[in-house]
Amino acid sequence: MRYSFIAALLLTPCCMLAQTQAGEDTVKQEKVKVIRLDAKRYKAKGAALLRLSGIKVIPLCPDTSQLGYVQVGMTNRKIRAVPDKAYTPYLQDFVNALLGGVYVPSGRQMLWVIKDLRINETSEVMGEQAFVRLKAAAYVPADNSEHPAYRLLTAFDTVLIRSGLDVTGKHDRNIAQAMQLFYLACEDAAGAYTASTPMTEAALIDSTLGAFKAPIYRDTAYKEGIYQNYGEFLANAPGISDFEVEISKRKKMTVYAKGPDSIRHEMTQLWGLCYKGELYKYDEGELVPIERKGNAFVLSRYMADINRRNKSIFWGSMGGIIGTGVAYTATTVHAANAIPWLLEYYRPEATMVDVETGELMF
């Protein structure tokens, strides 16, 4: 939702306050935003290169309880975006509706392993951006047996951005476009199979889930210390165990490693740490609290931080227009840096740790 600057010019401060409070009551009752997928059937131009009887969708995302976050209300309050049904039929029904027109009875079944599907939004002065990421892999049968092994056809990872004044209602179209692009990538790869070893469906699922078998996912307790890199984090094996953390009056945390001489050395090159049983990701000179949710490590304070910042921006803007003198208070919201090219043009907000790279993802 966009900031309503024009409306503010027409309202007194008292009316403005009353309307905003009423709007927030509505938001509190809503809790989540349900994203329904309405597919417009894809029509192939010419004969399809892949003869498919169907596509079986296998979601193996880190967190299947939600799709991401959207903004609502005049203060751009963030709430969770969720599917309108269980995750597997949510995607399977949509893919069937989208691509059912290319299926033929004599074709073969392709497998789509969905490794990540997530959405988010950001606001700028002149508009908003909606982001969708689809990371997936397609597998085709290596033989014509009843229970075939499958060979990797193509891997796919894309981020789509849609700009506008109100992008919340466009996520279904963004997801549909990403799915269609994935299918077209499969068409482009038809016949050019990778050199991967064929695997049964069960084996390729087990292989994909291998990332979640690292000790950090299996151990019942986190080991105290400094993770010098993402590998140490996954292994739950901090490379530096003798350390100290100082917390300033503004609650900024500074990390020191202690050497054999007991001399402290401030650490500025680290992945993160475990301190008093809590996990932190180091980013832009700050320690960002993270916690596990499903198979994802998410930023613990994301919702609180982004909603505090957006509310401050809104009231700061209103104060400048209607003379209430409300000041904008800066709140740190970290940028997703797992996909570097995004930061050249946009600043999507980080909500989780990317499973593959260990960097921050929207």
The domains of the chain are located at 1-210, 214-362
- Over residues 100-123, the mean pLDDT reads 94
| pLDDT tops 90 at residue 331 | no
Query: Which residue type does 83 have?
Result: P
The CB density around residue 260, as the number of other CB atoms within 10 Å, is 6
Class of domain 1-210: alpha beta
Contacts with 147 (C-beta within 8 Å, 6 or more apart), sequence order: 200
Name the least confident of 10-24, 119-133, 154-168, 173-187. Answer: 10-24
| pLDDT tops 90 at residue 60 | yes
Instruction: Between 250 and 325, name the one with better pLDDT.
Output: 250
| pLDDT tops 70 at residue 158 | yes
- What is the model's pTM? 0.82
The CB density around residue 80, as the number of other CB atoms within 10 Å, is 14
- Over residues 143-163, the mean pLDDT reads 92
Cα 226 from Cα 243, distance rounded (Å): 8
User: Among 223, 237, 236, which residue's Cα sits nearest to residue 275?
Assistant: 223
Helix (H) or strand (E) holding 69: strand 68-72
pLDDT above 70 coverage of the chain, percent: 83
In DSSP terms, which residues pair with 353 in a beta bridge?
A: 360
Q: Residues 186, 190, 196, 201: is their CA dihedral positive or negative?
A: positive
Instruction: Between 207 and 30, name the one with better pLDDT.
Output: 207
- Average pLDDT, whole number, for the chain? 84
Name the least confident of 215-229, 308-322, 348-362. Answer: 308-322
| pLDDT tops 90 at residue 191 | no
User: Among 257, 250, 218, 258, which residue's Cα sits nearest to residue 234?
Assistant: 218
